[in-house]
Amino acid sequence: MEAQVRQEMQALISKLNTWSQEYYVNDQPTVEDYVYDEAYAKLLKLEADYPDLKQADSPTNRVGGKVLDGFAKVDHEIPMLSLGDVFSKAELAEFTQKLAENVGQDLAYNCELKIDGLAISLTYEKGKFIKGSTRGNGLIGEDITENLKTIKAIPLTLKEPVSVEVRGECYMPKDSFVKLNQAREQEGLPVFANPRNAAAGSLRQLDSKITAQRNLSVFLYYVMEPEKFGITTQAQALKQMQAWGLKVDEHAHLATSQAEIDAYIDQYHDQRQELAYEIDGIVLKANDLTTQKIVGNTVKVPRWAIAYKFPPDEEETVVRDIEWT
Ligand SMILES: NC(=O)c1c(N)nc(OC2CCCC2)nc1O[C@@H]1CCC[C@@H]1O
């Protein structure tokens, strides 16, 4: 009997985890929501009837029971760096010009959208998600593992049993942000100023059941110790993370000229309204990881990457310029 129940549980878990990966990571669902919900309810019932048969990678483990009374601190052995900013294509060209002179050759740059969220770190041990934290001040962050486990875009188990730390951005999609603020207005609660603040507030909940309701998502953009996995470029790092089952923004583009970089900026400055999430610019990274190592970092930011920030939207400045007497 037990073996049969365990088998039924494992069948449900693998279907639910596959459907979750398709919907939340690949954004390509293959079943309707009610199919997922029915299977999830069946699994919950089985786990209630046979609690000691509950499996470790069951999706029901995503929403923990306990409410924390604080967040433990996490030491980032390798600091979580920030990014230097430029605000014009001219400044950006200066940056790439200087870097090319410094390195003695023209570089290929991996262009990525700059997701307007908050930086997080995820640690997997033999493919299992075991710890997640905020960037904090770059050296010390907060352990928010319980809250990150509720985010369905973060797989609890990778497709390969690798032990790796990855870093990325946690964000709240635009439509979730609008719905959340409408609900808060209904309840007479203060609304969030922007999706970034809403994501930060949602990740800092001591009760992970609240985080679970906030529809957060993530994009991963960094593999720690890439040489351990034979990764030699940033483009390859993104591909490898996707192969492991991690969510990576598909808008990245490898540019080999300033013209290509400028075209990428124009493309996404225009298209950003259509994106399901807010971006505040683009991030340029020297694609070759050996070059990154040679160029190195300052205390706060890498010398091999830069953020180009979009100018604030026109309508915003118009509002700001009006004398509100
Ligand atoms: N917000 C982003 O989309 C983003 C990105 N696509 N790529 C990076 O690369 C890191 C790697 C080393 C230093 C910056 N950082 C990003 O955001 C930074 C992280 C910390 C402050 C910014 O949010």
- 120 with 167: CB under 8 angstroms? yes
Smallest CA separation from ligand 1 atom 2, residue: 114
Distance 314 CA to ligand 1 centre (A): 25
Ligand 1: residues with CB < 6 A are 81-83, 112, 114-115, 119, 135, 169, 221-222, 283, 302, 305
Distance 119 CA to ligand 1 centre (A): 7
Please state the atom number of ligand 1 nearest to the C-alpha of residue 249.
Answer: 6
One-letter-per-residue 3-state SS of 235-300: HHHHHHHHHCCCCCCCCCEEECCHHHHHHHHHHHHHHHHHCCCCEEEEEEEECEHHHHHHHCECCC
Smallest CA separation from ligand 1 atom 5, residue: 114
Distance 107 CA to ligand 1 centre (A): 19
Please state the atom number of ligand 1 nearest to the C-alpha of residue 116.
Answer: 1
Could you tell me the CA-to-CA distances from 59 to 3, 81, 153, 221 in Å, in that order?
Answer: 20, 32, 12, 24
The structure tokens 């309204």 sit at 273
Q: What is the pLDDT of residue 29?
A: 95
Question: CB under 8 Å to 294, separation ≥6 — which residues?
Answer: 103
Helices 174-186 and 195-203 pack at an angle, to 10 degrees, of 70
Smallest CA separation from ligand 1 atom 21, residue: 82
CA distance 179 to 161: 37
| H/E stretch holding 169 | strand 164-171
Which residues are catalytically annotated? 114
Q: What are the structure tokens assigned to 167, written together?
A: 């870093």
- 173 with 116: CB under 8 angstroms? no
Distance 114 CA to ligand 1 centre (A): 7
Smallest CA separation from ligand 1 atom 3, residue: 114
Please state the atom number of ligand 1 nearest to the C-alpha of residue 118.
Answer: 23
Distance 171 CA to ligand 1 centre (A): 12
Mutate to test the pocket of ligand 1, among 114, 120, 233 (most ligand atoms within 8 A of CB): 114
Mutate to test the pocket of ligand 1, among 112, 169, 278, 293 (most ligand atoms within 8 A of CB): 169
Smallest CA separation from ligand 1 atom 11, residue: 222
Mutate to test the pocket of ligand 1, among 283, 299, 303, 309 (most ligand atoms within 8 A of CB): 283
Q: What is the dihedral of CA 246, 251, 255, 257, to 10 degrees?
A: -160
pLDDT truncated to tens, each residue of the chain (325 aa)? 889 999 999 999 999 999 999 999 999 999 999 999 999 999 999 999 999 999 988 999 998 778 999 999 999 999 999 999 999 999 999 999 999 999 999 999 999 999 999 999 999 999 999 999 999 999 999 999 999 999 999 999 999 999 999 999 999 999 999 999 999 999 999 999 999 999 999 999 999 999 999 999 999 999 999 999 999 999 999 999 999 999 999 999 999 999 999 999 999 999 999 999 999 999 999 999 999 999 999 999 999 999 999 998 765 554 555 555 5
